[in-house]
């Protein structure tokens, strides 16, 4: 088995976790040769001589086989990963934003340079969703993927439901527990989930979907009244990322708060956990579940990728890389739309209205809406309008 020299970018929560584990596990036959960081003055739990602030100390070192990229900044990460691949180094990354935004280019670079680019940790932390989509579901016809893929928002929603906390308090608690970024906008606005969904879709269906084309609503517009409605109906609210593939080959990628029955599989996924349902023609519904955020779960996924590089594992993308989705939606779904009285919403986009409720404090309407109409309604971007899917 190859002895691998690793160059590590970033020494945050996950980077330090990786360092710790690799130092303790000699059987992996790996060696962290250099760690590039931004702030040389911070106290670090590793020997000083390992650290550098110069990316070149890793990228220009021919003895380093693997670059593990774990920095926050997606643009800087892209430059590092691009250079590393072009220098014939394999790369492990957890940067979903960078990957979603440059997926095709990164895959081409991997092919051209005949190296591996692995990123299991970028999607659902420790849950091996990409590896399973690549290896195990490469022949069975997949019909849909549906999952809770963002640990931070799920943690917040769980707190809001079970401990009746306010959004602000739940977000604070998520940050304190290391499940939310210092700038949580990407999480709570659904962008992170859309990035992950975009990555999942390529591995599940062989289709390239830009996260910008995904119909998306985060959790910031959810109001207390929405949770009361859910509780009355015995439902819980989860931020669900999903994509169905119909018989004509149309995709329906969507990230939106969704009412889930408590007893349903996704209702089981609480706190920082992630879970993904995979619906297929033969195997019916399968479910993968595990911790989606935090030091060790993410480290676990990064380590699995490093370990796979020992035997030159690659994502083969056997389903191909087809284009063909540019934000066109053909189906309708049932939604709950909540808003403050006095807001003039164009309710005509409801194909039919099932319930309509007004009080002095709140109004809501439930009924089916064409996704194409919802996308153009302005409600997704409007922070005072709750949109929840059934």
The residues that are catalytic are 196
The closest alpha carbon to 272, from 387, 156, 192, belongs to 156
The rounded distance, in Å, linking the Cα atoms of 375 and 210 is 15
Other C-beta atoms lying within 10 Å of the C-beta of residue 139: 9
Nearest distance from C-beta of residue 157 to a second copy, angstroms: 17
Provide the terminal-to-terminal Cα distance of the chain, rounded to the nearest Å: 50
Q: How far apart are CA 186 and CA 181, in angstroms?
A: 9
Nearest-approach distance from CB 276 to a second copy, in angstroms: 11
Q: Give whichever of 218 and 290 is closer to a second copy, judged by the CB atom.
A: 290
Q: Phi-psi bin for 67: left (phi > 0), alpha (psi -120 to 50), beta? A: beta
Residue whose tokens read 């809001």: 160
Computed from CA positions of residues 48, 53, 54, 60, in that sequence, does the dihedral angle turn out positive or negative?
Answer: positive
Cβ closer to a second copy: 303 or 387?
A: 303
Q: Which is nearer to a second copy, 265 or 382 (CB)?
A: 265
264 DSSP 8-state letter: S
Binding site for a second copy (CB under 8 A): 17, 21, 25, 28, 125-128, 131-132, 135-140, 265, 268, 275, 280-291, 296-297, 299-301, 303-304, 306-308, 311, 316
Task: Identify which of residues 3 and 25 has a Cβ nearer to a second copy in the complex.
Answer: 25
Q: Which is nearer to a second copy, 125 or 257 (by Cβ)?
A: 125
**CA-based torsion, 307, 308, 309, 315: positive or negative:** negative
Closest C-alpha among 67, 314, 68 to residue 203: 314
Kindly report the length of the chain.
390
Between CA 194 and CA 202 the distance in angstroms is 13
State the minimum distance, in angstroms, from the CB of residue 126 to a second copy. 4
Query: Phi then psi for 279, rounded to 5 degrees?
Result: -100, 125
Alpha-carbon gap, residue 192 to 252, rounded angstroms? 18
CB of 124 to a second copy, least distance (A): 10
| CB 100, min distance to a second copy, A | 22
Which C-beta is closer to a second copy: that of 21 or that of 208?
21
């Amino acid at each position: 088995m190859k002895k691998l020299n690793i160059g590590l970018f970033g020494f945050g929560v996950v980077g330090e976790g990786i360092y710790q584990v690799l130092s303790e596990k000699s059987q992996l036959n790996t060696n962290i040769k250099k760690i590039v960081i931004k702030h040389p003055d911070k106290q670090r739990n590793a020997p000083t001589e390992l650290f550098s602030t110069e990316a070149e100390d890793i990228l220009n070192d021919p003895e380093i086989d693997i670059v593990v990229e774990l920095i926050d900044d997606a643009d800087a990460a892209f430059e590092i990963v691009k250079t590393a691949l072009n220098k014939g180094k394999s790369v492990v990354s957890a940067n979903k934003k960078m990957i979603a935004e440059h997926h095709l280019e990164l895959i081409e670079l991997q092919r051209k340079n005949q190296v591996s680019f692995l990123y299991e940790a970028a999607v659902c932390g420790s849950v091996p969703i990409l590896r399973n989509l690549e290896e195990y579901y490469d022949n069975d016809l997949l019909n849909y993927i549906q999952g809770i893929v963002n640990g931070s928002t799920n943690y917040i929603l769980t707190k809001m439901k079970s401990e009746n906390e306010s959004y602000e308090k739940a977000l604070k608690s998520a940050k304190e527990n290391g499940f939310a970024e210092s700038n949580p906008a990407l999480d709570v606005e659904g962008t992170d989930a859309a990035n992950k969904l975009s990555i999942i879709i390529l591995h599940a269906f062989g289709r390239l979907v830009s996260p910008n084309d995904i119909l998306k609503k985060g959790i910031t517009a959810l109001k207390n009244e929405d949770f009361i409605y859910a509780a009355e109906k015995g439902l819980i609210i989860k931020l669900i990322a999903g994509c169905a593939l119909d018989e004509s080959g149309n995709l329906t990628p969507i990230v939106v708060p969704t009412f889930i029955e408590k007893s349903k599989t996704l209702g089981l996924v609480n706190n920082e956990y992630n879970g993904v349902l995979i619906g297929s023609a033969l195997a019916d519904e399968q479910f993968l579940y595990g911790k989606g955020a935090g030091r060790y779960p993410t480290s676990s996924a990064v380590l699995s990728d490093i370990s796979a590089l020992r035997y030159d594992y690659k994502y083969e993308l056997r389903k191909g890389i087809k284009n063909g989705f540019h934000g066109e939606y053909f189906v309708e779904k049932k939604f709950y739309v909540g808003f403050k009285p006095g807001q003039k919403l164009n309710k005509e986009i409801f194909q039919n209205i099932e319930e309509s409720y007004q009080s002095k404090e709140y109004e809501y309407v439930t009924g089916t809406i064409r996704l194409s109409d919802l996308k153009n309604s302005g409600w997704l971007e409007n922070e005072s309008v709750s949109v929840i899917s059934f």
